[in-house]
A and B are shown apart, each in its own frame.
Chain A
């Protein structure tokens, strides 16, 4: 009889040990992190088609037509100084009314934000403190300086030609 009790206890303990336990609800989440390119990692040159296509989408917020892309690409090929060619292309884009850029007033209302946005928009990275400081001082010191000229400088820069 005693041994039967011991057996019952062992069985009860065994059942208790394998019985269901409280389920823990585990959730995995991602922290939001801003990911930007580092300029030192930009070693691949954009070809003419990439440059034009990226620039056009950037400035007009829509894709360039194949005919326009083909013509623009050929024109870049046909000019020896690519800086001249690209600055001329930009000048033509800035002469269009459908270009999507902030106004000069918006630029000066929140200059720091404008500079950070411009770096992110063109160079896909945040400015260093030194770069931010340079542009803050440079733009503040020149009341007539336009968004157009700032954007031209960024779009014609060496860094914008690489990814």
Chain B
């Protein structure tokens, strides 16, 4: 080999060796088109259809049931305002006192809406749960989105994994149920993205509930050394079968990630049996269970992006008193999750942005169903159902309120561009062709 040829080939080899490892799944050399604002994002999908009137507008029973003077804030960890002092039914039960008369003590000294960007009047794009959840996770309108099928447009998890190069265990979706198409939200069916870039997922009430305990808690402890040959043999069999990409039906982790997730499942059952799962202090319902296990995932994996879904508020279809109690508890567990990150996960404390938004609102007028207090229930299908709010707090988030009841600012489809903006892939996501044309990063709406 001539000297010149040798130098040329060596140069190419060294250059390729240096650059190769940094090429992203998207084929780009460099990951970011902007500056990263925070290392982690936690999105709370809150909480099954929330009426503006009882949440951000703090009108309690005065608006919904016509009880004069019964107004006030029942979400003290999210919003600033005095609690109601008339007909208090949403709190804890005290012996000898009327049911729910003791409000849960506030956990956060400063409500989250006072710590960051607060959009009190935002437009939702759907009055339904599944399309609403799709909107929050895909940033698209979801106009032709069907039930029982994966999102048609890529989720934020896929954008982050493809354009930012995050691993599967960097992105998590924590669902609250296996019904209502919820377990399909960790990835879209998009041919450009799809399951190869999807997020990991648990549905804690199932995965770590009775069914999970009966099915998974007796697993043998295997070391990496035990499992390595199994993975090699499986890889051989899979290569031999050569499954078509279009037939892949699952998110895929690396062998190391799979071992880690399995260890997490085993350890979580052990902690559960020892009563060591941290729970919000004053709530033990399904949403609290979900948030507690989301906290376990955060503590173990320190993911870049985790979305957790709450839904107990949806009881409002037939029980308004139950709805108020669920709303108050959803506020409590959301405040607890933020506090848990700050106090128990040093790698994420001060490095996380916390986003909270309902997937849909609720009707202006009630349906005819009355509850134990003779109060009317509310569905979600009218224009009032498209009125929601959003709160964002944490690292590099300006402290500001944007918009008002008479001056709406923002759309629910803004959430995905906002997260993309936080991780510095705003341009990639906005140019993907899937995002609502009226959506933009909330940082740009300030």
Query: Are A91 and B222 also in contact (CB < 8 A) when A84-B261, A149-B229 are?
Result: yes
A75 & B218 in contact (Cβ 8 Å cutoff): no
Complex Cα gap A71–B173 (Å): 21
Residues of A within 8 A of B206 (CB): 74-75, 77-78
- Interface majority SS (helix, strand, loop, mixed), chain A: helix
B247 & A45 in contact (Cβ 8 Å cutoff): yes
Complex Cα gap A73–B173 (Å): 19
Complex Cα gap A43–B241 (Å): 11
* Number of residues of chain B lying within 8 A (CB) of chain A: 49
Which stretch in B21-29, B38-46, B195-203, B409-417 binds the other chain?
B195-203
Q: Which residue in chain B gives the minimum CB-CB distance to A127?
A: B240
- Shortest B249–chain A CB gap in Å is 6
Q: Which residue in chain A gives the minimum CB-CB distance to B198?
A: A80
Complex Cα gap A98–B215 (Å): 16
Q: Which residue in chain B gives the minimum CB-CB distance to A131?
A: B240
A82 & B229 in contact (Cβ 8 Å cutoff): no
Query: Are A95 and B218 also in contact (CB < 8 A) when A79-B202, A150-B233 are?
Result: yes
Q: Which residue in chain A gives the minimum CB-CB distance to B237?
A: A157
B241 & A91 in contact (Cβ 8 Å cutoff): no
A88 & B265 in contact (Cβ 8 Å cutoff): yes
- Shortest B180–chain A CB gap in Å is 12
- Shortest B384–chain A CB gap in Å is 34
Q: Which residue in chain B gives the minimum CB-CB distance to A122?
A: B237
A81 & B252 in contact (Cβ 8 Å cutoff): yes
- Shortest B296–chain A CB gap in Å is 15
A81 & B250 in contact (Cβ 8 Å cutoff): yes
Complex Cα gap A138–B243 (Å): 23
A81 & B200 in contact (Cβ 8 Å cutoff): yes
In residues 350-382 of chain B, which contact A (Cβ within 8 Å)? none
Complex Cα gap A131–B241 (Å): 11
Residues of B within 8 A of A74 (CB): 178, 206, 211
Residues of B within 8 A of A84 (CB): 253, 258, 261-262, 265
Complex Cα gap A135–B237 (Å): 10
B202 & A159 in contact (Cβ 8 Å cutoff): no
A89 & B229 in contact (Cβ 8 Å cutoff): no
Give the interface of B toward A (CB within 8 A).
168, 173, 175, 178, 183, 186, 198-203, 206-207, 210-212, 214-220, 222, 226-227, 229-234, 236-238, 240-241, 243, 247, 249-253, 258, 261-262, 265
Beyond A77-B203, A82-B250, A153-B233, list 16 extra A-B contacts (CB 8 Å). A71-B211, A71-B215, A72-B215, A75-B215, A79-B202, A81-B258, A83-B252, A84-B265, A91-B220, A92-B215, A92-B216, A135-B233, A153-B237, A157-B241, A159-B237, A162-B247
